[in-house]
Amino acid sequence: MKNPYFNPLKKHHRPDGFQNNYRSFRGKRLRELLRWRWQAWRAGHPRPMREAIPVVAPDLAFIHGNAQAGRHMQPAATWIGHITVLLQVGGLNILTDPVFSERCFPVQWAGPKRHTPPGLTLAQLPRIDVVLLSHNHYDHMDEHSLVSLATQRGGPPLFITPLGHRHWFARRGIHHVVELDWWDTHVLPETDRSLRIPVTLTPAQHWSARTTTDALRSLWGSFVVRSPDCHVFFSGDTAYSKDFIDIRQHFARDHTPEQGGGFDLALLPIGAYEPRWFMKDQHCNPEEAVQIFQDLGCKRAIAVHWGTFQLTDEALDEPPRALRTALHRAGVCESTFAVLAIGATCPVSSRLHSVTTDHQSGESPSSPELVTI
Ligand code: ZN
Ligand code: ZN
């Protein structure tokens, strides 16, 4: 099948789909998949858990107060589970890869089952303005969640996706969709309650597939959200690559010290990385997540893509331990790359002096207490 977006001048475009910038992804062959499953079965993987996944009740008063705060919104991120995060920036409520279903699989009677419930239910969410969808894997693109959000009270959010998803949404009656290629920007306009926010799709080292015959047909990616009060990087799924150095360079002009410095917050994956021979081209491990954090030049990060679905061989609770070791080795303070409890909200310092002043004068919602583990 032909790629309708094909542009021979773009090196990540292929006549039949897309490819990574630095390491071409080749779909795993059936014998490799069987080898992994056989080795995992013989070794007794996934390894058993040692400690419970931390979960806290969400601070609904803060989240909903903040959702209504408009330009006085306190920049904040609430971890809902796996890679689903509620970002509150620039007066908008933005969800990343919303997955609220019990299983991340084409059917709900098989496939990886949730170990931990969502930190917020769909019904507990404030009205969502924007959904960022990184790619079409089932642990990121959950039909039930997307369709539910499209029918939320107050009208559907804007769904921003990489190229190749518009028809999937249209078949479900959802038309409020913007598709982006890598480095394309969609500007969310300024309104009386929100700031002007450019959203850019940026590369990631990953792949896509929804069925056994559509690998690499739709694009995948990461996102840069440049809200004037908070610049956020959302990785989606990614392995380590030089893409993150490129991303830092691309936005360097916005990240001078006079303009508030580098990314204020990154949402980076730390789970689903073993065995390495099978996963290293598609998922980073915690050590590589720290390298990505440093390559991007982030002020702080929140660890995501762990603790929710058992997808690979490492224990579900192992990634934070491996992250601590990696941070120690890299000389990065643990509090700058935070491991949150599911349901916890992380407030982020605003880049805007005026908002900081308002906050200090008590006009913006008071920050919740940060619950990390
Ligand atoms: Zn994926
Ligand atoms: Zn994933």
Tell me how far the alpha carbon of residue 127 lies from the centroid of ligand 2, in angstroms: 25
Q: How far is the CA of 207 from the centre of ligand 1 (A)?
A: 7
pLDDT value of position 202? 98
Q: What is the pLDDT of residue 365?
A: 67
CB-based contacts of 214, cutoff 8 Å, min separation 6: 208
Q: How do residues 251-262 score in pLDDT, each as one tens digit?
A: 999 999 999 999
Task: Give pLDDT, residue 355.
Answer: 40
Residue 354, pLDDT score: 41
Query: What ligand has the least distance to the C-alpha of 215?
Result: 1
- Tell me the per-residue pLDDT of 99-129, one tens digit each, with 9 for 90 and over: 999 988 887 777 788 999 999 999 999 999 9
- pLDDT value of residue 40: 81
Domain CATH for 130: 3.60.15.10
Q: What gap in Å lies between CA 146 and CA 205, rounded to an integer? A: 24
Gap between the Cα atoms of 5 and 88, Å rounded: 32
Measured in Å, residue 311 CA sits from the centre of ligand 2 at 8
Contacts 24+ apart (CB under 8 A), 44-47: 45/274, 45/313, 46/310, 46/312, 46/313, 46/314, 46/315, 46/316, 47/313, 47/314, 47/315, 47/318
**Ligand closest in space to the Cα of 269:** 2
Calculate how far, in angstroms, residue 295's C-alpha sits from the geometric centre of ligand 2.
21
Gap from CA of 237 to ligand 1 centroid (Å): 5
Domain that holds residue 192: 54-361
Residue 6 belongs to some domain of the structure = no
373: pLDDT strictly greater than 80: no
**Average pLDDT score over residue span 89-102:** 97
In a domain, 234, yes or no: yes
Q: Give the Å distance between the CA of 137 and the centre of ligand 1.
A: 5
With cut-offs at 50, 70 and 90, classify the pLDDT of residue 357: very low
Query: ω into residue 48 within 30 of 0, thus cis?
Result: no
Which ligand sits nearest to residue 204's alpha carbon? 1
How far away, in angstroms, is 136 Cα from ligand 2 center?
9
**Predicted pLDDT at 366:** 67
Q: What is the tens place of the pLDDT at every residue in 125-149?
A: 999 999 999 999 999 999 999 999 9
Ligand closest to the CA atom of residue 205: 1
176: which 2 tokens?
């409020």
Ligand 1 centroid from CA 301, angstroms: 20
| pLDDT category of residue 361 using cuts at 50, 70 and 90 | very low
Q: 284 alpha carbon to ligand 2 midpoint, in Å?
A: 11
CA distance 369 to 366: 9
Query: Looking at the predicted structure, is the pLDDT value of residue 237 above 60?
Result: yes
* Domain count for the chain: 1
Neighbours of ion ligand 1 (CB under 5 A): 137, 237
